[in-house]
Amino acid sequence: MDETQQDFKARCYCGDVRWRVARQAEVVFSGYCHCDDCRRSHATSLYQYVYVDAKDFHVERGQEQIRAFTTVKDGSFKRHFCQRCGTRVYNTLQVPHNGHQMELRGIFPSLMESIQDAKDPRWTPRKHTCAKESILDLNTIHDGLPRELT
Ligand SMILES: [Zn+2]
Ligand SMILES: [Zn+2]
């Protein structure tokens, strides 16, 4: 079997944009974000993010439909979306790592084709970020994950 056939596959709401992540991809960081920017951009009360090395991520279809938006002046972080259906399809992020810039992709398990893939244990959120900005009552969430209040 072709190696890429086993990759995690995902798509936007309309299906024009499709991407895949290598089966062996390692998660750099993951969690739920409650910040004002993420809530507005995703129109949700919290969202689940997973960051992987850009080399493990590939847009398979619909590159021409992808647009990006950011409020980060140096462009080191961008939110990419399908211009046809509006789905947030992935983020790009550059972080300093061992003296050079590491290129990451933020992916969303909610876009994966299969529920099994979306629930793969490697995507398990490790923390709540920007918990202070949450619009949810975090006392009702008993997942044992650390909450970053900054
Ligand atoms: Zn779309
Ligand atoms: Zn956020």
What type of residue is 77? F
For 111-139, the pLDDT digits (tens) are 999 999 999 999 999 999 999 999 999 98
| 143 found inside a domain | no
| 140 found inside a domain | no
Q: How far is the CA of 111 from the centre of ligand 1 (A)?
A: 11
Question: Structural domain of residue 89, as residue ranges?
Answer: 3-135
Residues with CB under 5 A from ligand 1 (ion): 12, 14, 16, 82, 84-85
| 54 found inside a domain | yes
| 67 found inside a domain | yes
Q: How far is the CA of 36 from the centre of ligand 2 (A)?
A: 7
| 55 found inside a domain | yes
Dump strand ranges (E) for 2-43.
8-11, 18-21, 27-33
pLDDT band at 150 (very low <50, low <70, confident <90, very high): confident
pTM of the predicted model as reported, rounded to 2 decimal places:
0.93
For 38-80, the pLDDT digits (tens) are 999 999 999 999 999 999 999 999 999 999 999 999 999 999 9
* CATH code: domain of residue 128: 2.170.150.70
Please tell me the total count of domains within the chain.
Answer: 1
CA-to-CA distance for 53 and 33, rounded, in angstroms?
19
| 78 found inside a domain | yes
Q: Is the pLDDT of residue 1 over 70?
A: no
Q: How many CB atoms lie within 10 A of CB 5?
A: 9
Residues with CB under 5 A from ligand 2 (ion): 33, 35, 38
| 25 found inside a domain | yes
